Amino acid sequence: MRILTLAALLLASAAPALAHADAQTAKVAPVLNTPEAKDVWTYARPAEARVTHVDLDLNIDFASKTISGVAVLDVAAAKGAKEIVLDTLDLTITEVSDEQRIKLPHTIGPKDPQLGSPLTIQLNGAKKVRIAYSASPGARALQWLTPAQTQSKTLPFLFSQGQAINNRSWIPTQDSPGIRQTWSATITVPDGFAPVMSGQMLDGATGKLVPHYRRQFRFRMDNPVPPYLIAIAVGDLKFKEVGPRTGVWAEAGMIDAAVSEFADVEKMIDAAQALYGPYRWGRYDMLVLPPSFPYGGMENPNLTFFTPTIITGDRSNTDVLAHELAHSWSGNLVTNATWSDGWLNEGFTTYFENRIMEALYGKERAAIYSDLDYAGMLRDVKDAGGDSAPSTRLHGEPGEGAGQLDYLKGSTFLRTIEVAVGRARFDAYLRGYFDRHAFQPQTSAGFLADIRKHLIKGDKALEAKLQLDRWVYQPGVPSNAVQVKSETLAKVDAQLAAFNAGGPAAAIDTAGWQTQQWQRLLGGLPRQQSAARLAELDAALKLTSSKNAYVQSAWFDLAIANRFEPVIPALEEYLTRVGRNLLVTPLYRGLKAQGEWGTPIAQRIFDKAKPGYHPVTVGAVTRILEAR
């Protein structure tokens, strides 16, 4: 791949020191200059000037729901460059200056609803830019929870979700995954609160007491990361160790259950390292957030964020933990340069996750996930309009991908390569791939060039067999796709077939079932059911009252499709309690599809639930309900 002349210059030059005296020398990552690496979701022009390090000094104010303070950016500019362009979204900028506090001319451009506004700063020779600012109370990355919305009910709570381009709403920087940056932060919070971030905690769990009954905490990330991985949470948080490298942050009432659920994390790290090389991020701690967190997990380095919906007491959803851990290699270590290639993060990680699960729990457990993923891939392709739908490509316009195809089609692609070349050979290739591109951005074209050079090596027969370009650039599922079958799910399928043929719901034996078996059953039921048949299912399997959020979501989806009124009270309680996109947006979509019956129900529930949702979820549901 070709790298910017600027990047080569940066790598050869002395990297700027971090703000803290005990910091190591900061690393500077290259920026790619290939056609596929042009990011249409950023205003930045990194070939002219780019950010290499962000130092934050921020105050958290729960009363006004604002984050405010100063960001100092280390800037590397090409010869003759006069300005740097940053990404912002609803930030109030009060001063822009150089290190000596000499003001720098700047302009804020028009606002695009998705991309925000460009902040263009005249450098006047400055190597560092100081920006005093405050974020909007409605910042898209941030959710401010009242005490009533937390488990402890004692203190308010704040957390961020940066992916994909939300961090520009609280950090003025170049918000593109291809412009990796080191960072450091000083965070000031009211006394009694505990802030955590996706970097090394420098002052322990108590911080330093400062005037006005506040405490300061310092954090640092020495590895260059894509900006979306800068994350923060502040609340009534406690910590409990899981192993020598791992621990859990959570509210007190959740922490013991989380530690139990995540008990295998040390074994997962060992398995991951045995597969694809060393874990390069220091600690692997985990944060369990309130239920409004919009995702299953977020792979923030040093501190993965998790939804409490995966904590079911039987460790049946530890695939989410394996997935977020695997991101420490695919996504965090080697990152898609733009969101047109999100599959390089999610497809690789889903494949890697499966290998971790197999190493710990055996081939059949891994086969269950692979089998479900294959079925999910086919369903997403069908829902998108079939094999010719452009949204079923791996590389495409950012944000256009259908369903979870970045995950499912991407992982099936890699599994197909593994089967074609043999596991040992493919594992050796992947380990080398992560080493060659560590802490760097990547594109689909870059990956294909790498695999051709280091794995295919001119073998024309293998090249034809793999259909690489077909997988990446063409829609649909190629003919060589490998499907893994699960014996466990085959038994579920047999019971499903008996029920679908008219058998009684009471004959379905669910003893010992985990989440994935329930998903197979409920996902395999025909969408058209009589009210009597649904009532029979609910009476026999206790679906409405299930304590498993995945089971409830799948059941409610079926019930909505049949306008099954008895579930509405439980559905309303569920949607006002759970904020995970994967579980709630299909239910709003299903209600909307029911027209005059479902749309008013969806709107009424959303009006009630909206204050408890993260802005990401609010945006997703709003788009569903406003669609014509």
If DSSP codes are grouped into helix, strand and coil, which group holds residue 468?
helix
Catalytic: 407?
yes
Among the residue ranges 26-35, 62-71, 520-529, the one predicted with the least confidence is 26-35
pLDDT at residue 623, as a whole number: 95
- Residues 22-30 have a mean pLDDT of 63
Inter-residue contact 273 to 366 (CB < 8 Å):
no
- 473 in catalytic set: no
More confident residue, 191 or 402: 191
Does the pLDDT at position 600 exceed 90? yes
Cβ neighbours of residue 320 closer than 8 Å, sequence gap 6 or more: 296, 297, 306, 310
Segment 347-369 shows an average pLDDT of: 98
| Domain residue ranges of the chain, discontinuous segments joined by + | 5-233, 237-318, 334-473, 487-626
For 129, the 3-state DSSP assignment is strand
Q: Which residues pair with 55 in a beta bridge?
A: 72, 184
Q: What are phi and psi of 223, to 5 degrees?
A: -90, 135
Shared fold status for 237-318 and 487-626: no
The residue with tokens 């006004």 is 64
Long-range Cβ pairs for the range 289-292 (8 Å, 24+): 289/159, 289/233, 290/145, 290/149, 290/150, 290/151, 290/157, 290/159, 290/251, 291/577, 291/578, 291/579, 291/580, 292/143, 292/145, 292/149, 292/579, 292/612, 292/613, 292/614, 292/617
What's the average model confidence in pLDDT over 285-306? 95
For range 531-548, the mean pLDDT: 97
Whole-angstrom distance, CA of residue 277 vs CA of residue 527 = 45
| Neighbour-count burial of 521, counting CB atoms closer than 10 A to its CB (0-12 exposed, 13-18 middle, 19+ buried) | buried
Q: Are strands 194-197 and 232-235 parallel, antiparallel or unpaired?
A: antiparallel
- Does residue 20 register a pLDDT over 80? no
What fold, for 487-626? 1.25.40
As a whole number of angstroms, the distance between CA 363 and CA 22 comes to: 46
Which CATH architecture fits 334-473?
Orthogonal Bundle (1.10)
Which of the residues 295, 407, 550, 588 is marked catalytic? 407
Domain 237-318: which CATH class? alpha beta
Q: How many residues does the chain have?
A: 628
Tell me how far apart the alpha carbons of residues 610 and 615 are, in angstroms, rounded to a whole number.
9
Give the angle 158-161-165 at the CA atoms, nearest 5°.
Answer: 140
Is the model's pLDDT at 386 over the cut of 80?
yes
Given 251, 261, 299, 324, the catalytic residue: 324
User: Can you give 275-298 as a three-state secondary structure string?
Assistant: HHCCCCCCCEEEEECCCCCCCCEE
Q: Are 486 and 364 in contact (CB under 8 A)?
A: yes
Average pLDDT of the chain is 94
Residue 6 pLDDT class (50, 70, 90 cuts): very low
Please give the pLDDT value at position 205.
78
DSSP string, 385-439: TSTT-GGG-SS-STT---TTHHHHHHHHHHHHHHHHH-HHHHHHHHHHHHHHTTT
Q: Under CATH, to which class is 5-233 assigned?
A: mainly beta
Strand partners, 210: 214
